[in-house]
Structure formats: C-alpha cells, structure tokens
C-alpha cells in the first residue's frame, strides 16, 4: 500500500504539471470548467476547485490542494482584503468563524508540514488565475485569517526550508509582492475586456489574444486606479498609440489623432489604422457604470493636447 504522504506529494506534483500545461495553452487565466474538471490520477478524477474557497479533492488524505478567492463584482468590494500586510504576506480568511472547521484544520496542517498549495485568484466570473506554489506561514485565530506567501516555481516546490532561512524568506516576500501586482493587473484586464465585450474600443478588433486593458489615467497617477471606468479595451496597436499620445479620446468619446500623424504619408496601416479613425466615436460598454469616466478622459485629453 502506498503511504499517504507519497500519494499527497505525487498528486501535488501532478497538479502543478497540469497547471503548467493548461496555462501554456490558455494563458495565465483559466476557466472554472478546466479547474473543476482537473486531471486523472491513477484513474481517479482530481478537480482543483470546489464551491468553497478551501478545497480538498477526495484523493488527498488530509490537506487541501487549493485556496480560492471570489472574483470582484463590478461596484462591490472583495469580501475581504486579500492584499499584502505589513510583513509582505497575503491574508486569507478562514472558512467560516470556527477555527476548528475541518478546512481550517487542513490548512493549519499544511502550515505545520510546509506543504505547497495552489492559490486560485478570481479575476472575473468563472475565471481564475492560478498561482503556485503557495505556503501557509501564519495563523491568526483572533482575525480568522491565515498568512500566505508565494514562492518561485523552480525553487519552492515541495520546499522544507526552515523559517529561519532569511534568504528563502526574502525570496518569497519578493515573489509574493510581484505576484500580487500581477494578479491585480490580470483582474483589471479581464474586467475591462469583459465590459467591452472583448472588442477594441477604437477599431472593433475582436481577437482577445490581441487585446489589452489600457489605463486612461496611468498607473501611478493619484486617480489611476485599476477600475473599469479608468480603462479602455484596446488592441496592441491602439494601446501603444494611446500611451504614446499619438491618439487621444475626448470626454465626448470622440477620437483625435495627432496632427503630424494625419499629415504623414505612408502605407495602408497608417491610413486605415490611425488616420481614418480620427473623428470617430469609441465603442462603449453597455453598462453605463462601466463606461469611461468623463473626468478621467478630460484629464487624459489635456495630457494628449500638451504632448501634441
């Protein structure tokens, strides 16, 4: 009979391989259907997500395989703060309010055994960005919260590095901070693309793999928040042109193109891709709450005029 700890280790390694395969095919964000279907292990189906945030598939003897956060709904805050605390660790809420609930006990056991898990970050309805390996490194019953750190995929898998190892701790803090930023960027992209029905606001291109979420007020600006009213779904060409102030969008949603670009003579890409869009209205989300905020467009338009 195969020892329980050997089964646990083999299932986790297979899960990590499965996620590597799927993200190489589908990109960083995976749909619920792929995660809930999972993979086969010795003839048994191993899903990676369930209806609750903390999930243990039946094949694992004791500890969960994943923790998940629900995606943000437009106009609503996430149920709890999943950002970094003052120590550079992620917060993850207990299942319910009972510290001894079996899911909480399972995560506590994973912390004690330094067992890697998968973090499934909800970026939009039915879409999750998987992050692995993550480790439970703290438990705060008074706040009903676990502390989570993210490690490098190559160095951190099935790690048993002692907490006193400052090199490993520094590495994990760095990786965690970078990953949290990437998670929120992915959330912004998914929500903006969904609002614009996966269509470039300028040229109506519908190929999702060629679309990006552009900030109206740039990241780092006092009002440059990653919210849908501060975003535009743009193809790669028009995103680059927007960021370079080659084109601008007025508060009345009309596109302007820089004068020197309009006067330039070149091939069909310049003519059709930039010159002919001048004076057109951008494509807008159906939901009024998701449309670009006029005050944001006004401030960005001033930047465009100054740059031109």
Alpha-carbon gap, residue 50 to 47, rounded angstroms: 8
Q: Give the containing element (helix H, strand E) for 6.
A: helix 4-26
Residue 159: predicted pLDDT: 53
Alpha-carbon gap, residue 61 to 38, rounded angstroms: 18
pLDDT tens digits, one per residue of 270-302: 888 888 999 999 999 999 999 999 999 999 999
Residue 2: predicted pLDDT: 66
**CB of 256 within 8 A of CB of 278?**
yes
Residue 162: predicted pLDDT: 44
Please give the chain's pLDDT, 308 residues, in tens.
567 788 999 999 999 999 999 999 998 899 999 999 999 999 999 999 999 899 999 999 899 999 999 886 655 554 445 566 666 788 899 998 998 999 999 999 999 999 999 999 998 889 999 999 999 999 999 889 999 998 887 765 555 444 556 677 778 888 888 888 888 888 889 899 999 999 999 999 999 889 999 999 988 788 888 889 999 999 999 999 999 999 999 999 999 999 988 888 777 888 888 889 999 999 999 999 999 999 999 999 999 999 87
Alpha-carbon gap, residue 238 to 177, rounded angstroms: 30
pLDDT tens digits, one per residue of 228-239: 999 999 999 999
Task: Provide the residue ranges of all domains of the chain, joining segments of one domain with +.
Answer: 4-193, 198-307
CB atoms < 10 A from the CB of 25, how many?
9
pTM: 0.75
């Amino acid at each position: 009979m195969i020892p329980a700890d050997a089964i646990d280790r083999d299932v986790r390694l297979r899960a990590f391989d499965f996620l590597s395969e799927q993200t190489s095919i589908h990109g960083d964000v995976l749909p619920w259907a792929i995660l809930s279907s999972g993979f086969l292990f010795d003839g048994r189906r191993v899903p990676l997500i369930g209806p609750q945030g903390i999930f243990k598939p039946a094949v694992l003897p004791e500890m969960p395989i994943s923790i998940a956060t629900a995606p943000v709904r437009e106009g609503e805050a996430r149920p709890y703060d999943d950002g970094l605390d003052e120590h550079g660790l992620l917060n993850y809420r207990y299942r319910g309010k009972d510290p001894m609930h079996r899911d909480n006990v399972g995560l506590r056991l994973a912390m004690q055994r330094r067992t890697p898990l998968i973090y499934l970050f909800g970026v939009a309805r039915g879409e999750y960005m998987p992050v692995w390996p993550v480790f439970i490194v703290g438990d705060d019953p008074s706040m009903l919260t676990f502390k989570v750190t993210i490690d490098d995929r190559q160095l951190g898998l099935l790690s048993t590095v002692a907490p006193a190892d400052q090199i490993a701790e520094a590495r994990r803090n760095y990786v965690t901070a970078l990953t949290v930023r990437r998670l929120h960027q992915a959330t912004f992209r998914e929500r903006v693309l969904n609002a614009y029905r996966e269509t470039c606001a300028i040229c109506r291109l519908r190929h999702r793999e060629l679309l990006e979420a552009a900030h109206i007020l740039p990241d780092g600006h006092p009002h440059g928040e990653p919210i849908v009213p501060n975003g535009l779904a743009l193809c790669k060409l028009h995103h680059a042109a927007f960021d370079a102030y080659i084109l601008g969008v007025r508060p009345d949603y009309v596109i302007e193109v820089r004068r020197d670009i309009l006067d330039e003579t070149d091939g069909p890409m310049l003519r059709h891709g930039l010159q002919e869009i001048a004076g057109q209205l951008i494509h807008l989300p159906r939901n009024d709450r998701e449309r670009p905020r006029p005050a944001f467009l006004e401030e960005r338009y001033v930047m465009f005029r100054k740059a031109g």
